[in-house]
């Protein structure tokens, strides 16, 4: 190895988390060769790193995706890890050791999954080895200079303090330290600093006082625009109706109530029942069960609920949904892009189920298709996450979680039915909410925060969690809601409302960002048991209550 390469290798050995982003093609090639040279029965996942200076001599090695073994680590025996696991410098892992997903092992820590016998009939060095193995759950942080002895199981979400000696099993969520390690507390009991109780009421008073100016700002004299200078859109008109209903309890003042109804109802195509964008033709039908795409697909929700808030409804059924048989629906569900487009799949189901709701409310029949939808969803939910679709290396669970919100909003939430595996959903959503690619450092946008807040709200209500405490992961949920609420309230811009945030329509304040963040703030506040301080409750697209009860036809 030449003089110029050696410092880089040493750098990656001690900082392996940088390798996937910073390695040259030559360094990637050398690392592949290093991984291939490991003996025993070994399989190493994607974007992993094994330090050149690590002594890795396994009988069996299964290193999950995005995991690494850092400088001077010593690994023998049988090691199996999940994804995102880290063995930091000078760690020792011997014997039979199984790690879950997201396990962090601090420097100079030893996991010793074997032991000597020490009967008095022979010297210790002649005693046979025994091995019960060590098992570590998901989302566990083991600090530096810790020793974990053979036979120990460490439950999910535990934190082990530096220097501890773990000789007994630790249940999930335990924070432990000492020699021998002793449980100190439950990790879910982490205290958070609450937002002052008056802040929510002050915010709501400000928003109500400025709602009229905000709506007038987005009226171009004939139609609504998301923000000054933007083109008029159907969604902007619908967002204006939602904001006025939420904050003022009335229709937007730029038009009389019956004129709002007339304009929105007249947009619906009488043949398909779909609502195109202003001045644009409907997209071409794509076969049986066509319910639009792009803006027309979302207008099933936004225009339908805007008319509902105005005391009216679509004048025509959504024909593609009315005429779709249960068999045709099942074929369409199987063909949705669950592998690489879970959000798109969830959005389609949201629109289909919402169209079915409008049709049923107006006396339509669906020949078992709605029941087929729920049967298919219940049978396809992943029992480990409660969700549908696959994560990706680029975005993590973003598509899956955002698709989950859209899917369940239109189906389970709208029809008042329980979601499958709610505890697993809470785990998956909270894990996603820690992803720095989408949360923290000003990277949050309205979609991503809403798509965490609503599933948490939906699942905690189903599980019977109390806002004041108790219930599944209540402390974690409350801590997340407190942080998001404290960040959201200052984003209000006087007379202009909220910007959506990075992505979408962008950070400039407008109707879409305002409508969504008003709903988000309600959900965050309600997760904390404080939504009554706002004096409003969403009744449109983002309503918390079901729009229907069950599957009565």
Neighbours of 424 (CB within 10 A): 17
Shortest CA distance to 332 belongs to which of 288, 281, 365?
A: 288
Three-class secondary structure of residue 407 per DSSP: helix
- 16-24 long-range Cβ contacts below 8 angstroms, 24+ apart: 16/49, 16/51, 16/68, 16/69, 16/70, 16/86, 17/68, 17/86, 19/49, 19/68, 20/47, 20/49, 20/66
CA distance 232 to 540: 21
CA distance 113 to 273: 65
Three-class secondary structure of residue 288 per DSSP: coil
The residue behind tokens 């937007």 is 252
CA distance 154 to 130: 20
Shortest CA distance to 160 belongs to which of 147, 179, 141, 173?
A: 141
- Phi and psi (nearest 5°) for 219? -110, 120
Is 116 an annotated catalytic residue?
yes
Q: How far is CA 324 from the centre of its chain?
A: 31
Residue 98 β-bridge partners: 80, 135
H-type alpha helices, 362-421: 369-380, 398-408, 414-415
CA distance 64 to 68: 9
Q: Which two tokens stand for residue 268?
A: 């619906």
Residue 177 β-bridge partners: 182
Cα dihedral sign for 16, 21, 26, 30? positive
The catalytically annotated residue of 3, 11, 116, 339 is 116
Q: Which residues are catalytic?
A: 116
């Amino acid at each position: 190895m030449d003089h110029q390469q050696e410092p880089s290798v040493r750098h990656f050995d001690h900082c392996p988390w940088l390798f996937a982003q910073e390695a040259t093609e030559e360094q990637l090639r050398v690392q592949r060769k290093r991984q291939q040279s490991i003996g025993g029965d070994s399989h190493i996942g994607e974007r992993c790193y094994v330090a050149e200076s690590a002594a890795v001599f396994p009988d069996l090695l299964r290193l999950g995706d995005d995991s690494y073994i850092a400088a001077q680590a010593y690994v023998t025996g049988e090691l199996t890890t999940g994804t995102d696991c880290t063995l930091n410098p000078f760690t020792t892992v011997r014997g039979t050791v199984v790690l879950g997903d997201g396990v962090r092992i601090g420097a100079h820590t030893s996991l010793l999954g074997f032991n000597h016998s020490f009967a008095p009939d022979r010297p210790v060095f002649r005693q046979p080895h025994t091995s019960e193995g060590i098992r570590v759950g998901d989302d566990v942080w083991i600090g530096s200079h810790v020793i974990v002895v053979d036979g120990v199981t460490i439950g999910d979400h535990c934190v082990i303090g530096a220097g501890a000696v773990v000789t007994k099993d630790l249940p999930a969520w335990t924070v432990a330290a000492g020699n021998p390690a002793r449980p100190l507390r439950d990790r879910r009991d982490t205290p958070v600093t609450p937002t002052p109780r008056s802040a929510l009421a002050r915010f709501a008073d400000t928003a109500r006082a400025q709602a009229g100016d905000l709506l007038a700002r987005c009226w171009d004299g004939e139609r609504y625009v998301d923000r000054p200078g933007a083109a008029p859109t159907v969604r902007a008109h619908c967002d204006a109706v939602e904001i006025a209903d939420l904050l003022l309890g009335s229709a937007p003042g730029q038009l009389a109530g019956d004129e709002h109804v007339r304009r929105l109802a007249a947009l619906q195509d009488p043949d398909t029942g779909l609502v195109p964008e202003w001045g644009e033709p409907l997209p071409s039908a794509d076969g049986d069960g066509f319910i639009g795409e792009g803006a027309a697909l979302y207008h099933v929700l936004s225009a339908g609920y805007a008319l509902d808030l105005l005391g009216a409804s679509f004048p025509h059924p959504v024909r593609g949904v009315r005429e779709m048989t249960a068999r045709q629906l099942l074929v369409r569900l199987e063909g949705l892009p669950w592998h690489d487009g879970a959000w798109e799949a969830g959005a389609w189901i949201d629109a289909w189920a919402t169209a079915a709701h409008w049709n049923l409310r107006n006396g339509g029949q669906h020949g078992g298709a709605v029941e087929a939808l729920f049967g298919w969803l219940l049978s396809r939910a992943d029992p480990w996450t409660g969700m549908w679709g696959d994560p990706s290396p680029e975005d993590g669970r973003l598509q899956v979680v955002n698709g989950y919100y859209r899917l369940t909003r239109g189906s389970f939430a709208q029809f008042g039915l329980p979601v499958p595996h709610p505890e697993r959903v809470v785990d998956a959503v909270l894990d996603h909410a820690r992803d720095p690619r989408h949360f923290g450092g000003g990277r949050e946008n309205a979609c991503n925060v809403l798509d965490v807040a609503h599933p948490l709200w939906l699942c905690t209500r189903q599980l019977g969690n109390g806002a004041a405490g108790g219930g599944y992961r209540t402390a974690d949920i409350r801590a997340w809601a407190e942080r998001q609420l404290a960040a959201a309230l200052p984003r209000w811009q006087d007379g202009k409302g909220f910007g959506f945030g990075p992505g979408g329509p962008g950070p400039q304040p407008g109707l879409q960002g305002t409508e969504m963040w008003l709903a988000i703030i309600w959900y965050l506040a309600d997760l904390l048991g404080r939504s009554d301080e706002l004096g409003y409750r969403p009744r449109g697209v983002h309503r918390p209550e079901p729009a229907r009860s069950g599957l009565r036809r």
